[in-house]
Amino acid sequence: EDKVVQSPLSLVVHEGDTVTLNCSYEVTNFRSLLWYKQEKKAPTFLFMLTSSGIEKKSGRLSSILDKKELFSILNITATQTGDSAIYLCAVVGGSNYKLTFGKGTLLTVNP
């Protein structure tokens, strides 16, 4: 059975801190790994990673994939209160390349 495990499940930091969110996976026929941010409604897309060692970056957020060790990290530098959200990791793989989500990391950034 395909598995995606995120850690930590929740995290509380102060504005300006740097955070690292982790996602490990076990899937057959790995195709890609995706990161999403979810505030009050539907998840919004952050990154899609398919190749090891290539960092994707968008502003203060960055992510990298390690296909040998089967994990990805999402870094957020200089956190702001607007970064407070659930961050979801999902992996495309398995039979019919279905998408499997982790349970998410709830990030709270306090002023």
Residues that bind another protein (CB under 8 A): 6, 9, 31-32, 34, 41-45, 48, 50, 88, 90, 92, 95-104
In contact, 2 and 27? CB cutoff 8 Å: yes
In contact, 6 and 101? CB cutoff 8 Å: no
In contact, 46 and 63? CB cutoff 8 Å: yes
Helix (H, G, I), strand (E, B) or coil at 64: strand
CB of 37 to another protein, least distance (A): 12
CB of 12 to another protein, least distance (A): 16
CB of 58 to another protein, least distance (A): 14
Residue placing its CB nearer to another protein in the complex, 17 or 61: 61
